[in-house]
Amino acid sequence: MIVFVDTLGYAAVVPLIPLVLSEQGAPLIAVGTVFAAFSLCQLVTAPLLGRLSDRIGRRPVLALSLAGSATSFGLLALSSAFPVVLLSRIMDGCSAGNVAMCYAAVLDSDSEDERRRGIPALGAAAGAGIVAGLGLSAFLAGFGFRVVALAAMLLSLLCLALTLVAVPETRRGASPA
């Protein structure tokens, strides 16, 4: 559920970013910079988040990642100016460990059967979230970019609440957070 809702929020915002930036007169390179910044930040911080989750547990890092996503979508809802959009995507990229944490939690399972069923289920949830997010983006686009960003923020907050209430710690030996 967390992977589905998380990718839904991400996919809802992404298609509208180029439109919003072009409406603001940002050059095409600005759009590429925004997308590259997210991916670069994710690439750099993913191993750090992974090591942190090995030390303190999957659940706290998942919660931290989701809080970062919610904050970045909230910032995006406040302004669609290029510097704010860029900062928002950098923040979201730096905290983009949520899906990886879900995969790690499944891999922490003792049961081969749970791992065998869990990994494809996470992939399916991510794919379904992207499809649903693109649909949500198309549906909400008429209400404006801020509404889409707020919807993504609310989805991240929902994931955070689900994590805090329903996700058990799967990493043995992790210190309680």
Read off the pLDDT of each residue in 110-119 and give the average, rounded to a whole number.
Answer: 90
Residue 174 banded pLDDT, cuts 50, 70, 90: low
Read off the pLDDT of each residue in 34-40 and give the average, rounded to a whole number.
Answer: 94
Q: How far apart are CA 50 and CA 100, in angstroms?
A: 8
Q: How far apart are CA 96 and CA 158, in angstroms?
A: 16
pLDDT (0 to 100) of residue 2: 82
Q: What is the pTM of this model?
A: 0.88
pLDDT (0 to 100) of residue 165: 93
Per-domain residue ranges of the chain: 2-163
pLDDT (0 to 100) of residue 9: 87
Maximum CA pair distance of the chain?
A: 54
How do the residues of the chain divide into helix, strand and coil, expressed in percent and rounded to 5? Answer: 85, 0, 15
Please give the CATH superfamily to which domain 2-163 belongs.
MFS general substrate transporter like domains (1.20.1250.20)
Give me the DSSP letters along 102-171: HHHHHHT-S-HHHHHHHHHHHHHHHHHHHHHHHHHHHHHGGG-HHHHHHHHHHHHHHHHHHHHHHPPP-S
Read off the pLDDT of each residue in 129-139 and give the average, rounded to a whole number.
Answer: 95
What tens digit of pLDDT does each residue of 101-110 get?
888 888 888 8
Q: Say what the alpha-carbon torsion angle 70, 2, 111, 171 is, to the nearest 10 degrees.
A: 20
Q: How far apart are CA 16 and CA 145, in angstroms?
A: 7
What tens digit of pLDDT does each residue of 79-112 get?
989 999 999 999 999 988 778 888 888 888 888 9
Give me the chain's average pLDDT, please.
90
- What counts of helices (H) and strands (E) characterise the chain? 8, 0
